[in-house]
Chain A
């Protein structure tokens, strides 16, 4: 038994090293963001001697990161709200109601899971251009919704399947219409699932770069992640400001992770175990 315990402690060594390798790049970036240019050139590893927030404000102001931040907020919030609305409506219908063609519609929704954006990038950009939605927020939001809706519908359907049909039946006997059941019963009961799917959808939209790059060509309409890529050219020789810009883009997600770690991990696991 002590042999087994010893080998477990031995395993802890590579695992801690790996944990360090996981955290170090971010810690390094935080440290660099607080340094002066001179400090960084002289010694890349030394701890910064002061917290220089001016690097952050330079990055925030100069390439328009502030504006891109707002763009991302608008696109992500609207997309997530729409995703939750459409996803819960469809999930309710697919899990609790019987109707002709429901299995075919379920399969059609799921088929969307297997069509990555890269595969339909060209025709989708054309459809958006033809309907004058390219380079507009409604266009980008629609593309985000279309991208993450199959996943959202899938998770909402699996969640609503765990709600006993008797609850729906009872509400109907009380005189609720189908829509009333959705609004008064299914939406409130679905809160845990809506929360965890919503967090994941928000994360996916916030982190996207390719869709935004294709759908929002003009510079003012950039989302934050596309904006961050512009920093590279701008601050090639001013690494502390570059690192500050990277941090600005990372902070919302890091804060979300600190508080919502369990929901995020559970959501990822739920997507897997329900397959």
Chain B
């Protein structure tokens, strides 16, 4: 269902934009004062929109402001008292939050890999590797499972005395404490997240490929271009928008949908090494009863997401211009 193929229409499509004073659509205005009075008709769009707008404003946008405001007040005895930047200073001093932030840095570093894997696989599928239809549906399927289920399954597989280590032992590799070693656990959790979600990104890539000019690919192939050259000179520039979209959504996904995995697989451990901001927020709010501190962490997370989004868009624009 792409946007491009809207059926042609004589009347300009109303796209949610309005030109101000005109309340009734042009064309046949006299006929539309049917049963309901003109007044009721005039308010109809607002009444249709009101429930959705109300829910979104009250339960999404307003809490954002409330949370920012809340982050400048205190917890416990200082509940409701303005404390300036105290919460933010405490965050900076807290080793757990610092780990959470450096793990965000790790996610940013791993992002190119998380985008390249589905991108490459989508390329192969697009180039009609034998069995491509089957691959598409197999790869996509872990994406529909809850992180809780994925985490539970990998808890089994990666247990110290579990099957994965048994397999490694069979080929003579020493067992690794996948979820118990602070130097390894975060990579394992990110790996499991990528295992679960690369199929989603793959589907998005394939939708992007559908908009790619097939003639260009054929031309490249006739000219004897290698696969790498095709990727570099035809696919990457042609899919710049898709790549940008996947990069942003993958990053947002890593920042906001790994809670289930962390909760089930590591509980933030070992030694706090798998903390991410979302897990920190939940611990401070739910377990430590520090809602104001949690709000400060939420505000930082929001700023990080905003920054990452803007930065990526900027970088990709520049890359696009150089090509």
Interface residues of A (CB under 8 A from B): 4, 7-9, 11-12, 15-16, 18-19, 21-23, 25-26, 28-29, 32, 44-45, 86-87, 89-90, 92-103, 105-106, 108-109, 111-112, 114-127, 142-143, 145-146, 149-150, 153, 157-159, 161-162, 164-166, 169, 172-173, 175-180, 182, 193, 203, 206-210, 213-214, 225-226, 228-229, 231-232, 239, 242-243, 246, 249-250, 253-254, 256-257, 261, 264-266, 268-270, 272-275
* Chain A contacts for B60, CB-based, 8 A: 111-112, 115, 120, 146, 150
Contact A28 B156 (CB under 8 A): yes
Partner among A193, A207, A269 whose Cβ is within 8 Å of the Cβ of B204? A269
Question: Interface majority SS on B: helix, strand, loop or mixed?
Answer: helix
In the assembled complex, the CB of A129 is this many whole angstroms from the nearest CB of chain B, namely 11
Instruction: Name which residue of chain B comes closest to A103, CB basis.
Output: B17
B64 at the interface (CB under 8 A from A): yes
Which residue from chain B places its CB closest to the CB of A21 in the assembled complex? B195
Query: Which residues on the B side are within 8 Å of A177 (C-beta)?
Result: 34-36, 40-41, 44
Q: When the two chains form their complex, are residues B9 and A90 in contact, meaning their CB atoms are under 8 A apart?
A: no
B156 touches A97 (CB 8 A): no
B282 near A109 with CB under 8 A, answer no
Contact (Cβ within 8 A) A229 B263: yes
Q: Which residue of A lies closest to B71 (CB)?
A: A122
User: B245–A275 contact, CB under 8 A?
Assistant: yes
Whether A164 touches B7, Cβ cut-off 8 Å, given contacts A44-B162, A239-B156, A242-B156, is: yes
Are B256 and A22 neighbours in the complex by a CB distance under 8 Å? no
- The reply to whether the CB of B252 lies closer than 8 angstroms to some CB of chain A is yes
Name the segment of B89-97, B101-109, B121-129, B173-181 touching the other chain.
B121-129
With an 8 A cutoff between CB atoms, is B171 at the interface? no
Report the nearest A residue to B140, measured CB to CB. Answer: A265
Nearest-neighbour CB distance to chain B for A254, whole angstroms, equals 8
Q: Is the CB of A166 within 8 A of B11?
A: yes
Determine if B135 and A19 form an interchain contact, defined as CB atoms under 8 angstroms apart.
Answer: yes
| A268 touches which of B2, B23, B124, B203 (Cβ 8 Å) | B203
Partner of A146, one of B9, B55, B163: B55
Question: In the bound complex, how far is the Cα of B147 from the Cα of A79, in angstroms?
Answer: 20
User: In the complex, A157 Cα to B246 Cα: how many Å?
Assistant: 22
In the complex, identify which listed stretch (B182-190, B297-305, B312-320) lies at the interface while the others stay far away.
B297-305
Q: How many residues of B contact A (CB 8 A)?
A: 120
A149: chain B residues at CB < 8 Å are: 52, 55-56
Cβ B23 vs Cβ A11 within 8 A: no
List of B residues within 8 angstroms of A97 by Cβ: 14, 25, 44-45, 48
- Asked, given contacts A22-B195, A165-B11, whether A272 binds B156 with beta carbons under 8 Å apart, the answer is no
In the A-B complex, the 5 residue pairs with the closest CB atoms: A207-B146, A146-B59, A269-B207, A178-B44, A90-B52
Set of chain A residues within 8 Å of B264, measured between Cβ atoms: 229, 232
9 contacts across the A-B interface (CB closer than 8 A): A93-B45, A106-B16, A112-B56, A119-B298, A150-B56, A161-B3, A178-B44, A268-B143, A272-B249
- Give residues in B with beta carbon < 8 Å to A: 1-3, 5-7, 9-11, 13-25, 27-28, 31-32, 34-36, 40-42, 44-46, 48-49, 51-53, 55-61, 63-64, 66-67, 70, 121, 124, 127-131, 134-149, 152-157, 162-163, 166, 195, 199-200, 203-204, 206-208, 211, 221, 227, 242, 245-246, 249, 252, 255-256, 259-260, 263-264, 277-278, 281-282, 285-286, 291, 294-295, 298-299, 301-302, 305
What's the least CB distance linking A272 to chain B, in Å?
4
B residues less than 8 Å from A172 (CB atoms): 28, 31-32, 34
Contact of B163 among A44, A182, A253 (CB under 8 A): A44
In this complex, the member of A89, A123, A208 whose beta carbon has the largest number of chain B beta carbons within 10 angstroms is A123
Cα A270 to Cα B32 with chains together (Å): 34
Query: Does A8 lie within 8 Å of B128, measured CB to CB?
Result: yes
Given A118-B301, A162-B7, A108 and B138 contact (CB-CB distance below 8 Å): no
A95 touches B52 (CB 8 A): no
The residue of chain B having its C-beta at the shortest distance from the C-beta of A158 within the complex is B3
Contact of A22 among B51, B142, B291 (CB under 8 A): B142
Measured CB to CB, the closest approach of chain A to B270, in angstroms, equals 16
Query: Smallest CB-CB separation from B25: which chain A residue?
Result: A98
Contacts A118-B281, A203-B144, A264-B144 given; does A109 touch B263 at CB 8 Å? no
Closest CB in chain A relative to B89 CB, distance in Å: 19
Additional pairs, 6, CB under 8 Å, beyond known A15-B124, A98-B22, A116-B301: A102-B17, A103-B18, A146-B60, A213-B263, A228-B152, A268-B203
Q: Are A18 and B121 in contact (CB under 8 A)?
A: yes
- B261 (CB) vs chain A CBs: closest residue: A209
Closest chain B residue to A152, Cβ basis: B52
Q: Separation in Å of the B259 CB from the closest CB of chain A?
A: 5
CA distance A116 to B253 in the complex (A): 10
- Contact A122 B291, beta carbon cutoff 8 Å: yes
Say which residue of A90, A143, A206, A261 sits within 8 Å of B140 (CB atoms).
Answer: A261
> With A122-B294, A150-B60, A182-B48 in contact, do A214 and B14 touch (Cβ < 8 Å)?
no
Inter-subunit contact B16/A103 (CB<8 Å)? yes
Contact (Cβ within 8 A) B291 A253: no
Chain B residues, Cβ within 8 Å of A121: 281-282, 285, 294, 298
A225-B148 contact given A100-B21, A272-B207, CB 8 Å threshold: yes
Q: Report the minimum CB–CB distance from A240 to chain B (whole Å).
A: 10
Whether the Cβ atoms of B48 and A89 lie closer than 8 Å is yes
Residue numbers in B under 8 Å from A226 (CB-CB): 148
